[in-house]
Amino acid sequence: MKCVICKSPDIQKKIVDEEIKVESDIILVSVEVLVCSNCGERYYDNKTMRQLEETKLKLSTKNLKVQKVGKVFRTKVA
């Protein structure tokens, strides 16, 4: 498999933090995906996509335990 963006053959399985937004909160979900080592493009298989959809659904109905790891702030350019 080659990267469709940069044509690099260097694609590896990695655990990444996927961001799921629920209202004004962002929840990080660890998933194993294929990542292009050259440009960082992520490739999701159908199973991972389904899992993320399911996770998003459970999060929006508060049906999944989350752990607080940080805060998100907003500002304007200085």
Cα separation, 13 vs 43, in Å, equals: 9
User: DSSP label at 22?
Assistant: E
- Of 10 and 32, nearer to Zn ion (C-beta) is 10
Smallest separation (angstroms) from Zn ion to the CB of 19: 20
Smallest separation (angstroms) from Zn ion to the CB of 3: 3
Cα separation, 67 vs 48, in Å, equals: 21
- Of 7 and 50, nearer to Zn ion (C-beta) is 7
Smallest separation (angstroms) from Zn ion to the CB of 32: 18
